[in-house]
Amino acid sequence: MSALPLISANPDVVNRMALGVLRFVDAATGQSVTDGLSVIARVRNKSISAIPSPRGVHVFHQLPGLSTVSLWDGEAKLNPEPLPYEYSIEVRDTSRRFFSTVFKTGFFAWSDAANWSVATPVCSNVGSPVKEVPLFSLPWRSQRADCALVRGTLWHRSAAKPAAWALLRVYRAADDPATAEPLVEGVTDADGEFMLMFPWPKSDPSVLNGPKGLHWTMRFKAWYDLPDSQVPENELPDGEQRLPSLCSILEQQAATLLAEFGTDVELPPQEMTPDQTLLLRTTGTNVLYLK
């Protein structure tokens, strides 16, 4: 439990601290996103909306467990310990650029109102900690002129159905996916469709300039094992098929993208050129298969 601050009798010196703070990042560009997002916290049968801040974050004040400690008289100190509640956060993009998602998190009480503590999703089986909340591009998101674009439809070979909510990552061909940071992460929709968008890598030693002009060689990796949904379908807005858990997406098992349908040959690195969309397919098919 966090120590509660003493509230001054003089209301003029009471400040409201932003204790419930979340930062959302566009997985395609790495930029913070505040515009167009609906961010809701659910706890103890209450639903409370966050407020976007000019500092590139979303802020909660009136959550259970936060209301009292958010009032600070400038003298009493708060301990940097977790507050006693876990919050379920639902994120939706009213501009229809990003997938909706849900995750659980906790918030902290800090003694310095100028230094906000940004909360992160609580994921137990992710290799590296989730430092910020990624927002994954929807398949129909508009392309940015300065970005590379990859499209496709992902299917599970043995199940003979779309690989919904699979996680995809793009790497430079020379990078080791086990240790390197991906250029971008993306997610398939309920029908297996995906769009991966990312800025062309700068100072990349693998870039080639031949008769066809500039081209880059990229490696594609997938993770898939049917992520769980954390929100019942009857509680979703009209037209929303499912609200997958962010952690269940990030905690999926590695899968193999297939170069050929009848073999287990992995999809080789692919060449990309500026101003051309790369369409990923398994040879002889109209979709990209994984196993």
**Per-residue confidence band for 1, with pLDDT thresholds at 50, 70 and 90:** very low
Helix (H) or strand (E) holding 250: helix 246-250
CATH of the domain at 275: 2.60.40
Residues 158 and 125 in one domain: no
CA distance 242 to 244: 6
What's the rounded Cα separation, in Å, for the pair 25 and 14? Answer: 32
Are 136 and 151 in contact by the 8 Å Cβ rule? The answer is no
Average pLDDT over every residue of 128-139:
87
Task: Say whether both 210 and 248 belong to one domain.
Answer: yes
Contacts of 124 (CB under 8 A, 6+ apart): 247, 251
Q: Are the beta carbons of 89 and 102 closer than 8 angstroms?
A: yes
- Assigned domain for 5 exists: no
CA 288 – CA 291 distance, rounded (Å): 10
242 lies in some domain = yes
For residues 90 and 160, state if they share a domain: no
Q: Are residues 99 and 217 in the same domain?
A: no
Quote the number of domains for the chain: 2
Which pair of tokens denotes residue 29?
């560009």
Residue-number span of the structural domain to which 157 is assigned: 147-290
Q: Give a yes or no: residue 6 inside a domain.
A: no
103 and 175, same domain (yes or no): no
Domain membership flag for residue 192: yes
28 and 66 inside one domain: yes
Residue 206 lies in a domain: yes
Q: With respect to residue 141, please indicate whether it lies within any of the assigned structural domains.
A: no
Does residue 125 sit in the same domain as residue 176? no
Instruction: Answer yes or no: do 159 and 281 share one domain.
Output: yes
Asked if the model's pLDDT at residue 262 lies above 70, the reply is yes
Is 142 contained in some domain? no
Separation of alpha carbons 166 and 289, rounded Å: 12
Q: Which residue has the tokens 């004040």?
A: 61
**Looking at residue 47, what is its pLDDT?**
85
Per-residue pLDDT tens digits for 153-190: 999 999 899 999 999 999 998 889 888 999 999 999 98
Instruction: Examine the domain organization and report whether 171 and 218 are in the same domain.
Output: yes
The confidence score (pLDDT) of residue 71 equals: 53
Q: Could you report the per-residue pLDDT of 49-79, keeping only the tens digit for each?
A: 999 988 889 988 777 766 555 555 555 555 5
Residue from 192, 212, 223 nearest 272 by CA: 212
Handedness of CA 245, 250, 254, 258 (dihedral sign): positive
Q: What is the pTM assigned to this prediction?
A: 0.81
Do 160 and 131 share a domain, yes or no?
A: no
What is the residue whose two structure tokens read 């040959």? 265
* Cα–Cα distance for residue pair 148/178, rounded to 1 Å: 23
**End of a domain among 135, 157, 178?**
135
Residue at which a domain ends, from 135, 166, 185:
135
Do 170 and 75 fall into the same domain? no
If asked whether residues 90 and 180 sit together in one domain, one would say no
Residue 140 Ramachandran class (φ > 0 left, ψ -120 to 50 alpha, else beta): alpha
Q: Which of 35-49, 188-202, 236-250 has the lowest mean pLDDT?
A: 236-250
Residue type, 250: L
Q: Smallest Cα–Cα separation from 244: which of 191, 169, 189?
A: 189
| CA distances (Å), origin 183, targets 30, 186, 225, 235 | 10, 10, 22, 35
- CB-CB contact of 194 with 223 (8 Å): no
Token pair of 127 as six digits: 């290799």
Q: What is the DSSP string of 126-163?
A: -SS---SEEEPBPTTPPPPTTEEEEEEEEEETTTTEE-
